A = this chain, B = another copy of it.
Amino acid sequence: MVEHNNENLDLIFHALADATRREMIRLLSEKEKTVSEMAKPFDMSLAAASKHIKVLEKARLIQRTVEGRTHTCRINAETLALASQWLSVYEKFWSKRFDLMESEILKAKKKEH
């Protein structure tokens, strides 16, 4: 069974609950980036972006390596997987409906003939 640590999930989902941070993740999914590079697309101070990055880091959604004065961030997909796993427990609820829908469509098609 997958362990669903509550504190971790709090941090992860909270980090994902902000459009800026979700976009940062998207950016990192293309390529690793420095703090300044991550901040550039957003209409806010570097300090504000730095705070967002810290939130993502605390949730372990991203990781940082420091080389000299530049901090490079990369995505940490294992943590995204944790969120996904929590949600997957409920997948049956929407796949069920999907199956139902499919069988309804089949029935409808049979009636056509």
A 84-105 contacts with B by CB, 8 A: 84-91, 93-94, 97-98, 101
**A9 proximity list for chain B (CB < 8 A):** 16-17, 19, 22
Name the contact of A17 in the complex, choosing from B10, B26, B78 (C-beta under 8 A): B10
What is the copy number of this chain in the assembly?
Answer: 2
> Can you list 29 A-B contacts (CB < 8 A)?
A1-B108, A2-B101, A6-B22, A9-B19, A10-B19, A13-B13, A13-B14, A13-B17, A14-B17, A16-B17, A17-B17, A22-B86, A29-B89, A29-B90, A29-B93, A75-B90, A75-B93, A77-B94, A78-B97, A80-B93, A81-B91, A81-B94, A81-B97, A81-B98, A83-B83, A83-B87, A84-B84, A84-B91, A87-B87
